[in-house]
Amino acid sequence: MRHKSFKANLCPVARSLDAIGEWWSLLIVRDALGGIRRFSDFQKSLGLAKNVLSTRLKKLVACGILEQVPASDGSAYREYALTQKGRELFPVIVALRQWGESYLFSRGEQRLQVVDKRTGKPFRVQVRSAKGKILTVNDLELITLKN
Higher pLDDT, 3 or 22: 22
How many angstroms separate the CA atoms of 30 and 33, rounded? 5
SS3 at position 120: coil
How many angstroms separate the CA atoms of 35 and 41, rounded? 10
Q: What is the pLDDT of residues 68-107, one digit of tens each?
A: 999 988 888 899 999 999 999 999 999 999 999 889 999 8
Is pLDDT above 70 for 28? Answer: yes
How many angstroms separate the CA atoms of 30 and 93, rounded? 7
Residue 36 CA from chain centroid, whole number: 13
How many angstroms separate the CA atoms of 93 and 90, rounded? 5
Range scoring the smallest mean pLDDT among 4-13, 29-38, 104-113, 137-146: 4-13
